[in-house]
Structure 1
Amino acid sequence: MLPRKRSTILLTLLVLIRSSEQYSSGAPAGACNDQMPRHASIQAQSTPPPYVIVTSSSQVRQGDSLNVTVGSPAGAPTPIGGFILQARSIQDPDVIVGKFTSLSDPVNTRLTTCTFGNDTATHSNPSDKAALTFQWEAPSDFLGGVEFRATVAQSYATFWKNVESKVVEVVNRNTVITTTSPAPTFQPTTQAAPPVIMESRPSPPTETRDEIYQGCADTKLCYGIPENCIARGNCDAIVAVFVAGDIYTFEIQGTNNPKYIAAALSMDSKMGDDSAMECVRNDNGRVSLFTSWTYPKVEPFVRRSDSPQDIVQLKESSNINGKLYCKFTRDVVSTVKGFTFDLAGGKYNLMVVSGDSMKEADRVGFHSIAFGATGDSLALATVGTAAGSSKLLVKLHGSFMLLAWLGTSSIGILLARYFRQVWVGRQLGGKDIWFAYHRILMVLTWLLTVVGFILILVEVGGFATTGDNPHAITGLVTVILCFIQPIGAYFRPHPGTKKRPIFNWLHWFLGNAAHILGIATIFLAVYLQKAELPSWSVFILAAFVAFHVVMHIVLSLTVCVSDGRISNGRVNSFPMKDMMGQPRQVTQVDRSTDAPFSSFRRLLLSIYAPIVLLLAVAMICLVALAPIGEAYNSIMGA
């Protein structure tokens, strides 16, 4: 009986020992890579974990520290039995980054080494634990995103893998940290956690320029947009190439919180048939690098599956304060879509684009934030700042269209509508004054529009839409309406004929439709990235519209009052009375002299014409001098 009792006691002790191995001294060495606790054949739970990992900041400078807390949120008090916690690189999740320097519960937790000193935190005994806080130090030779990853066990048979924190960006020593994570609320703990430590070292002097700009003058090739942004250090998008022997290192950075920033090697300054390299910000905060091939003006425009992905190697990446950055190398010689790209022996136009959306999961959206290309093909070993392609045709297109639809057409329409009974008896070239000037102004509108349209077709190499902005479509309709107007006017029926009212109404409708659509197209152009107009340009256009409408209202009232005086006080006509092609029958109007208030109308015209032309010239100056938004913002303190 005694031997049986001893056997029972021994068996019980063995079971207890086995059960306690899981927590007795922390995670086993085999858990360093996959964070699996090696609990026989027991698998991790598939349900959402009752634990979270929270950091005291979403950014940390190289060599500085932040706090990392693992625990169960308040309201769901689930104790921690065992755990293993590490910081993993976003670029390579198998790489452990940084080290832990202190812990809030030295009795129940400890630090251990998987690849280098104290890079892993784990438990030291199997007792239940509340929230645990550790201080983690970022390495001084690492730049990019990390996330804290843990496996947390509630009991021997119940544990959760891949409990992850939000991404923390390790930034260079010169970066000013402005973001912090909200203080988490965990289940109560019996031991006081140390105070949150945002920085463990004095901050160095602030430097405003990003690292990508360093060396653009003397050690690497740089191209940025808008023009002259590299000298100011505030490019919307920039690409830099550094050559050391046979290693070609690329850097690309986009601002204004882009979804992607991409650079391309192109045979010209136009989009299409280019080998592109995309730095993409995923929804989970990770930054990934892809290559793709672009197509000229046909779907799918860009496709990753047509480009090998192993020709580039990501070295660093970050997404900090709305700036998306990637640093990578590219094979010296690569073949994409049958084209051979020889970085050492070839010359290429550098192209850089950025946008705020993805069209599909594996395809970038329209370059809504920035687009530009170097004007000349360059050897990538060239040092200095590359010049962009000429924007002369774009500026001329914008200037001609502004003069046509803000200036000449507006004045021409006003003359035809309100000045037919002014300057009676005076002629120019055998035609009434109002008609002669109306025809001159509308011919100018036609010429400016047609020439402007041809210029932009030459610039873009044909008709092309501009993403979600319908500027190109409304502009094309405006050009078509404008083009057919003089043709219809040439074949107009004689006054008094049956078809003259039909012509009058069609000519009026198409002319006004073209004018309204032309103004709307100019409004849309303000939001085109290629125009580089400051956003406050819309206020100048709004001032034009308001002034134009007010003058039409005043002149319409003037014509009504004038006709009322002729009709002995009865206002029984409207300003468009002549649209029917014959004089009114109610009252015979003396058309041998100027209408009443003609002097007042001429006064209004002398005010309207200069102001409209002044507003048109102001917009033309903005187009000619673009981009000037940065200078304005700096003056206004934006």
Structure 2
Amino acid sequence: MRAYIILFACVRIVECYKNGLISSACGSMAPNHGSSAQTSAAPYSVTVDKTSYSAGDAVTVTLSAKSGTFLGFLLEARLIGGSTPFGSFSSAGTGAQLLPCSGQPSAAVSHSSPTPKSQIQSIWKAPTSGNLNNIQFSATFVQAYSSFWVGVKSAQVTYSTGNGTTAMNGISSAGCGITKTCVSQPSNCDPFTNSNCYFMSAMPLSDGSGFNFEIFGPSNGYIAIAFSDDQQMGNDDIYICGKNSQGNIQLQHAFSTGTTTPTTIRMGNVTNFNASFTNGVISCSFTSRNSISTTRSSASTNSYYIFLANGPVDQNGVIQIHPNTPIISSAKIDLYSPQVLGGEQYPAIVKAHGCLMLISWMTTGSVGMLIARYLKKTTRGTRCCGKDFWFVAHMLLMLLSVAATIIAFILVFSYAQDWAGGAHPVLGCMVMILSLVQPTAAMFRCSPQHERRFIFNWAHAINALAIKALAVAAIFTGLILVDPSQDGWLPKVMGGFVAWEALFFLFLDIHQKWTEKDVDGDDYGQIRPEVLIMLAFFLGNVAFLVTLLVGIGNV
């Protein structure tokens, strides 16, 4: 008799949820079926008709079977990182019913019968006041009694304040310098209102046992923070928020030993992880009670340089090399002393490299080439140090260009200590090699009267043209790498300079051909037009150069 009673109770448990009155499961969203949820990819989806919402808005939520059907379901809206239903549903849809949860009426939607379903469409309504923030719809699908999936999520729906701004996982610059330390690029940007802001914050826990960290920035792969004893990569403690193989944002703890892929280590004591990926922006927050470990530290310290990097991931969710130099705090930061620092994406040594290359191939090199091409006849008879003036000026300017190129080359390689990859370093190395070939070949040139002197003249001119073209290409690729603006104004300024220089070369060529027959009859006591044209070119050249130097100084 006891066996029949037990059997009857089990049957009752099986039957009790067929009507969908499952308010007791609102918290865990797991059915009481005596088995675990499936871990494979769910054959169901949760989609929404909006990417953002404001107070009082309605959002249509659709539950769909990719294949087959489902018998039962439970649908809720939750704040990102929340564990209770948020808002209420105004319409359940056919074959569904509104369900009270956690004392809130209509806080969830569930099935009203166990008939097979392929799609359910419900309408959720946002609260008109209270703690409004980004949300996500989460659903449980029951395919059969022992086959069900829990926590199938929709895309995140961001909260819009109504004035055009959205909340990205609740991360903002509020409290920076007061309760938390912040590093951002551009300086003092607010991730709450600026989706192009790269931002991190660290707020000490009240008991001093760790920190609440926030990371935010545009990226389609990952964004990471690192703590270092210096401004170079290697021996750094790293936290990475990035996409896994399913496209969901995960948190990883890693340690770098150089410029190679960091080694993933145990997560340790990390809790309260929340993350989102919305409109190409990754944001995540978490609490870490791990000690920060850098092997270069000789003593216990809470002061570190902070790196903020972003880059792609492969199809397996493994992070790849970041295409741009990480944003680096301009000074060491004591994480227990809240302060605000701007991120310095490029250290002074890298900026010096760029400035020297601009000076070399925008000014000294360009002017030296113009003098050799157009002022030979203009300065005929004018001597300096026993040589024609044009030759002395040309030689000094080109030697300055080569010397600056060598120094720039040494600076950037001493900083990187590795091959960065991409077109820019390849172009730079080609410029360096050809720049050394040019003066070396000139040292062994034959006399101007030699019958084969034309070979040197042509080779010298062609090599100079190749250096100029490669240097311009290297500058363009370098400016594209460092330009933080959305409109890419630094490469545009460089494009303006190239057009300016080409215009003057063309104008001087035309002028030279036009006056070629009358050169012998010119009055050399007057200022020739070529000199005035060169002066105008030099002034415009300096204007473009200063603009780019200021731009590099501000990145």
Greater CA drift, 158-167 or 487-496: 158-167
Asked if the contact 1:82–1:123 (Cα under 8 Å) also holds between the matched residues in 2, the reply is: yes
Q: Which amino acid aligns with 1:614?
A: G
Cα pair distance change 1:82/1:534, threshold 3 Å: closer
What is the rounded CA distance, in whole Å, between the counterparts of 2:67 and 2:416 in structure 1?
65
Residue 405 of structure 2 is aligned to residue 449 of structure 1: yes
SS at match of 2:503: helix
Residue 405 of structure 1 deviates from its aligned partner by: 0.7
SS at match of 2:445: coil
The equivalent of 1:302 in structure 2 is: 261
Q: Residues 164-313 of structure 1: matches in 2 within 5 Å?
A: 164=152, 166-169=154-157, 171=159, 174=161, 211-227=171-187, 229=189, 236-243=197-204, 244-281=206-243, 286-297=248-259, 301-305=260-264, 307-313=265-271
**Among 76, 84, 91, the residue aligned to 2:74:** 84
Greater CA drift, 263-272 or 132-141: 132-141
Residue 517 of structure 1 deviates from its aligned partner by: 1.0
SS at match of 2:352: helix
Cα pair distance change 1:230/1:444, threshold 3 Å: farther
SS at match of 1:168: coil
**Among 18, 31, 47, the residue aligned to 1:23:** 18
What is the rounded CA distance, in whole Å, between the counterparts of 1:87 and 1:404 in structure 2?
60
The equivalent of 2:122 in structure 1 is: 133
Q: Residues 290-439 of structure 1: matches in 2 within 5 Å?
A: 290-297=252-259, 301-305=260-264, 307-333=265-291, 345-355=301-311, 357-359=312-314, 361-368=316-323, 371-386=326-341, 391-439=347-395
SS at match of 2:18: helix
Residue 610 of structure 1 deviates from its aligned partner by: 3.0
What is the rounded CA distance, in whole Å, between the counterparts of 1:232 and 1:393 in structure 2?
33
SS at match of 1:280: strand
The equivalent of 1:614 in structure 2 is: 540
Cα pair distance change 1:52/1:472, threshold 3 Å: closer
Asked if the contact 1:221–1:242 (Cα under 8 Å) also holds between the matched residues in 2, the reply is: yes
Residue 378 of structure 1 deviates from its aligned partner by: 2.8
Cα pair distance change 1:25/1:242, threshold 3 Å: closer
What is the rounded CA distance, in whole Å, between the counterparts of 1:542 and 1:296 in structure 2?
36
Q: Residues 69-108 of structure 1: matches in 2 within 5 Å?
A: 69-70=61-62, 82-87=72-77, 95=83, 97-98=85-86, 100-104=88-92
Alignment root-mean-square deviation, CA:
4.8
Asked if the contact 1:252–1:263 (Cα under 8 Å) also holds between the matched residues in 2, the reply is: no
Q: Which amino acid aligns with 1:374?
A: S
Asked if the contact 1:97–1:146 (Cα under 8 Å) also holds between the matched residues in 2, the reply is: no
SS at match of 1:364: coil
What is the rounded CA distance, in whole Å, between the counterparts of 1:83 and 1:609 in structure 2?
79
Residue 535 of structure 2 is aligned to residue 603 of structure 1: no
Q: Residues 433-582 of structure 1: matches in 2 within 5 Å?
A: 433-458=389-414, 460-462=415-417, 464-465=419-420, 468=422, 470-497=423-450, 500-529=453-482, 535-560=488-513, 565=517
The equivalent of 1:581 in structure 2 is: none
- For these two proteins, the number of residue pairs brought into alignment is 540
Asked if the contact 1:562–1:597 (Cα under 8 Å) also holds between the matched residues in 2, the reply is: no
Identity %: 21
What is the rounded CA distance, in whole Å, between the counterparts of 2:356 and 2:84 in structure 1?
60
Greater CA drift, 383-392 or 230-239: 230-239
Residue 161 of structure 1 deviates from its aligned partner by: 4.5
Q: Residues 8-87 of structure 1: matches in 2 within 5 Å?
A: 23-24=18-19, 26=21, 33=28, 35=30, 38=33, 53-60=46-53, 66-70=58-62, 82-87=72-77
Task: Please list the CA deviations of residues 418-443 of structure 1 after superposition, one character each: whole Å capped at 9, or x if unmatched.
Answer: 33333332222211232122112212
What is the rounded CA distance, in whole Å, between the counterparts of 1:133 and 1:210 in structure 2?
26
Unaligned runs of 5+ in 2: 1-10
Cα pair distance change 1:80/1:318, threshold 3 Å: closer
Q: Which amino acid aligns with 1:615?
A: N
Cα pair distance change 1:221/1:78, threshold 3 Å: closer
Q: Residues 105-124 of structure 1: matches in 2 within 5 Å?
A: 109-113=97-101, 120-124=108-112
What is the rounded CA distance, in whole Å, between the counterparts of 1:420 and 1:168 in structure 2?
69
SS at match of 1:270: coil
Structure of greater Rg: 1
Residue 216 of structure 1 deviates from its aligned partner by: 1.3
Asked if the contact 2:241–2:251 (Cα under 8 Å) also holds between the matched residues in 1, the reply is: yes
What is the rounded CA distance, in whole Å, between the counterparts of 2:467 and 2:352 in structure 1?
20
Asked if the contact 1:91–1:287 (Cα under 8 Å) also holds between the matched residues in 2, the reply is: no
The equivalent of 1:197 in structure 2 is: none
Cα pair distance change 1:611/1:360, threshold 3 Å: farther
What is the rounded CA distance, in whole Å, between the counterparts of 1:602 and 1:105 in structure 2?
87
Cα pair distance change 1:80/1:532, threshold 3 Å: closer
Task: Please list the CA deviations of residues 458-500 of structure 1 after superposition, one character each: whole Å capped at 9, or x if unmatched.
Answer: 5x254542x54x2222122212222332222222222333653
Residue 304 of structure 1 deviates from its aligned partner by: 4.0
What is the rounded CA distance, in whole Å, between the counterparts of 2:20 and 2:376 in structure 1?
100
What is the rounded CA distance, in whole Å, between the counterparts of 1:292 and 1:302 in structure 2?
9
SS at match of 1:358: coil
What is the rounded CA distance, in whole Å, between the counterparts of 2:287 and 2:245 in structure 1?
25
Residue 72 of structure 1 deviates from its aligned partner by: 5.9
Task: Please list the CA deviations of residues 365-420 of structure 1 after superposition, one character each: whole Å capped at 9, or x if unmatched.
Answer: 34346722224333210221136568443443333322221112112212222333
SS at match of 1:275: strand
Residue 242 of structure 1 deviates from its aligned partner by: 0.9
What is the rounded CA distance, in whole Å, between the counterparts of 2:257 and 2:314 in structure 1?
15
TM value normalised by structure 1: 0.69
Task: Please list the CA deviations of residues 20-46 of structure 1 after superposition, one character each: whole Å capped at 9, or x if unmatched.
Answer: 8773455696798575585x99x99x9
Asked if the contact 2:363–2:545 (Cα under 8 Å) also holds between the matched residues in 1, the reply is: no
Cα pair distance change 1:304/1:144, threshold 3 Å: farther
SS at match of 2:480: coil
SS at match of 2:336: coil
Residue 274 of structure 1 deviates from its aligned partner by: 0.9
Cα pair distance change 1:165/1:308, threshold 3 Å: closer
What is the rounded CA distance, in whole Å, between the counterparts of 1:510 and 1:36 in structure 2?
76
Unaligned runs of 5+ in 1: 1-15, 179-205, 567-592, 630-638
Greater CA drift, 265-274 or 409-418: 409-418
Cα pair distance change 1:87/1:368, threshold 3 Å: same
The equivalent of 2:3 in structure 1 is: none
